[in-house]
């Protein structure tokens, strides 16, 4: 019998294990491990080649930081690994993060006086810095970016919004009702204001005020101009909707259907949609003599908000049942989408003219939030707390900003920058709830109405560029209807 090998590891390798054999215990000696992984050592990484450094000829690392320190005036004890590692970290922090040079007061003290030379320096190319003759004259940068990219453009000046109204008009006995819509601005620059049973017009071009219509003894609860600005739809507390001719100053027709107030009106070409306190939405074709062609039981409360999208494909309705619903004319009797994010009545609705399917809605006193909703994929884009009741919303067509008017308990007008939804300006002046809002045809001014019996005109947005406004729709020939 052969003598056992003194090297137990070698003997272990020579043995041919059988399936039935058991592994012996080798004590503290473990079998050798073989692997094909190669873990390189990065201590001696060539920084000048890897990072395109200038004027540094030595490799940088914790092991040779002593030589680096001497080149920069750093004095440390050679062979002290703790000093080298700490100094290496301090050098990187000083160069990359801009921290002050480190100091340590003990027997191993050192000082890093970086005054003129930087560790990391990047040289510009001749294309990035034209006009420089030699490499020595080329500009250098502390960060690996192109020189052109590092030249920051001057900050854009913030747009200043006038905090005081450009005009204040008296509106005696204007109805202080959250569910009504008593203000609208036409394409012909006529501002319609409903005062009890009468509608007055103020023309912003010639500054003239005239009486448009008189529907006494019924109180007017909503007004809305047709897209061409020739006709005015007037809803009353009796549930009727009267169509008035602007030029002739007379009534063209009266349409019935609602059992209660007509709270909201929205135009879609020749289709007039109205929402009432009975929770119904009525669609009326102005080319037909019938009162309506579709009646939809839309909500369980007042339909106080009603807006067609910019492309006229979707109709948004808001109610005091705290819901927002999306409809279309292809299937007008059933809603397409529903939003239940609000906890208060929803009157404020506005579609984005810059992105299709983007809807802003505002909640009442129990909610106080502005909710941005993408109706294309049914996704909430933004939700912002305003701190007060949201009465109206209007999306500017000239800039991507939203204006909101508020009630309890901050009677203010706010301008929001989308998509960040940060406040651009806050306009104050009304002493009661700012319940009504209208936008001028050029999109630069807004008119706000309040229970304090005043109408205030504000210059908020920049004027639209020439040719940016959509061409007006073809005028409706309503005089042929019998």
Q: What are the pLDDT digits (tens) for 139-180?
A: 555 555 454 544 555 666 667 899 999 999 999 999 999 999
Find out whether 304 and 264 touch, Cβ atoms under 8 Å: yes
pLDDT for 409 beyond 50 = yes
Residue 329 to residue 416: CA distance in whole angstroms? 32
Find out whether 303 and 312 touch, Cβ atoms under 8 Å: no
Whole-number pLDDT of residue 380: 95
- The conformation of residue 405, written as its DSSP 8-state character, comes to E
Whole-number pLDDT of residue 131: 52
Helix/strand/coil for 195: strand
Which residues are CB-contacts of 106 (< 8 A; sequence separation ≥ 6)? none
- On the CB side of 234, CA atoms within 13 Å amount to 31
pLDDT for 125 beyond 90 = no
Residue 185 to residue 482: CA distance in whole angstroms? 28
pLDDT for 110 beyond 50 = no
pLDDT for 77 beyond 50 = no
**Which of the two residues, 39 and 121, has the higher pLDDT score?**
39
**Which of the two residues, 17 and 438, has the higher pLDDT score?**
438
- Token look-up 């004259």 returns 137
pLDDT for 213 beyond 80 = yes
Whole-number pLDDT of residue 115: 43
Stretch among 47-56, 221-230, 297-306 having the lowest mean pLDDT = 47-56
Whole-number pLDDT of residue 466: 40
Residue 411's pLDDT band (cuts 50, 70, 90): very high
Residue 387's pLDDT band (cuts 50, 70, 90): very high
Please list the residues that pair with 424 across neighbouring strands: none
Q: What are the pLDDT digits (tens) for 437-456?
A: 999 999 999 999 999 999 99
Question: Which tokens sit at 38?
Answer: 């190669």
Please name the helix (run of DSSP H) or strand (run of DSSP E) that holds residue 442, with its range, or none: none
Average pLDDT of span 45-74: 47
Give the residue among 187, 151, 222 at the shortest CA–CA distance from 442: 187
Mean pLDDT of the chain: 79
Average pLDDT of span 214-239: 92
Architecture of the domain delimited by 167-465: 7 Propeller (2.130)
Whole-number pLDDT of residue 111: 42
Domain residue extents for the chain: 41-146, 167-465
pLDDT for 345 beyond 50 = yes
Whole-number pLDDT of residue 465: 58
**Which of the two residues, 119 and 339, has the higher pLDDT score?**
339
Kindly report the pTM of this predicted structure: 0.68
Whole-number pLDDT of residue 36: 64
Question: Which tokens sit at 326?
Answer: 């999306």
Whole-number pLDDT of residue 214: 86
CA 273 to mean position of chain CA atoms:
29
Whole-number pLDDT of residue 38: 67
Whole-number pLDDT of residue 62: 46
Residue 203 to residue 447: CA distance in whole angstroms? 12
Average pLDDT of span 372-381: 95
Q: Is 209 exposed, middle or buried (0-12, 13-18, 19+ CB in 10 A)?
A: exposed
Give the residue among 474, 450, 481 at the shortest CA–CA distance from 183: 450
Residue 267 to residue 308: CA distance in whole angstroms? 7
Number of neighbouring beta carbons within 10 Å of residue 84: 21
């Amino acid at each position: 019998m052969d003598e056992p090998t003194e090297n137990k590891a070698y003997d272990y390798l020579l043995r041919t294990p059988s399936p039935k054999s058991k592994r012996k215990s080798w004590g503290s000696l473990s079998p050798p491990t073989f692997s094909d992984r190669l873990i390189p050592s990065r201590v001696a990484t060539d920084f000048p080649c890897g990072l395109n450094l200038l004027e540094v000829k030595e490799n940088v690392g914790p092991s040779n930081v002593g030589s680096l320190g001497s080149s920069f005036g750093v004095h440390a004890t050679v062979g002290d690994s703790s000093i080298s590692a700490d100094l290496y970290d301090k050098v990187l922090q000083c160069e990359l993060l801009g921290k002050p040079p480190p100091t340590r007061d003990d027997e191993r003290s050192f000082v890093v006086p970086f005054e003129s030379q930087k560790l990391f320096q990047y040289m510009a190319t001749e294309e990035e810095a034209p006009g420089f003759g030699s490499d020595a004259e080329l500009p250098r940068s502390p960060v690996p970016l192109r020189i052109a990219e590092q030249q920051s453009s001057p900050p854009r000046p913030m747009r200043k919004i006038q905090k005081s109204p450009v005009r204040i008009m008296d509106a005696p006995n204007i109805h202080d009702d959250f569910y009504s819509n008593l203000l609208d601005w036409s394409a012909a620059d006529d501002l319609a204001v409903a005062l009890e049973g009468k509608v007055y017009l103020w023309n912003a071009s010639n500054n003239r005020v005239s009486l448009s219509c008189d529907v006494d003894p019924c109180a007017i609860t909503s007004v809305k101009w047709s897209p061409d600005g020739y006709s005015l739809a007037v809803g009353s507390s009796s549930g009727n909707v009267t169509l008035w001719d602007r030029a002739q100053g007379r009534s063209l027709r009266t349409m019935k259907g609602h059992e209660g107030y007509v709270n909201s009106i929205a135009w879609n070409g020749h289709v007039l949609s109205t929402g009432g306190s009975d929770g119904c939405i009525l669609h009326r074709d102005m080319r037909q003599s019938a009162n309506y062609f579709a009646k939809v039981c839309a909500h369980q409360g007042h339909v106080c908000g009603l807006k067609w999208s910019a492309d006229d494909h979707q109709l948004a309705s808001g109610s005091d049942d705290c819901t927002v619903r999306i409809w279309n004319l292809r299937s007008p009797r059933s809603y397409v989408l529903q939003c239940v994010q609000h906890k208060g009545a929803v009157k404020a609705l506005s579609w984005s003219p810059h992105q299709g399917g983007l809807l802003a809605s505002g909640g009442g006193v129990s909610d106080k939030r502005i909710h941005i909703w993408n109706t294309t994929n049914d996704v909430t884009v933004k939700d912002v707390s305003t701190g007060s009741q949201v009465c109206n919303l209007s999306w500017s067509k000239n800039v991507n900003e939203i204006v909101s008017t508020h009630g309890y308990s901050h009677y203010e007008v706010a301008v929001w920058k989308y998509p960040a939804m940060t406040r651009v300006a806050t306009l104050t002046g009304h002493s009661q709830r700012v319940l009504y809002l209208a936008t001028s045809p050029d999109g630069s001014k807004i008119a706000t109405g309040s229970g304090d019996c005043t109408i205030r005109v504000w210059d908020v947005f920049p004027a639209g560029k020439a040719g940016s406004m959509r061409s007006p729709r073809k005028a409706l020939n309503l005089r042929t209807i019998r």
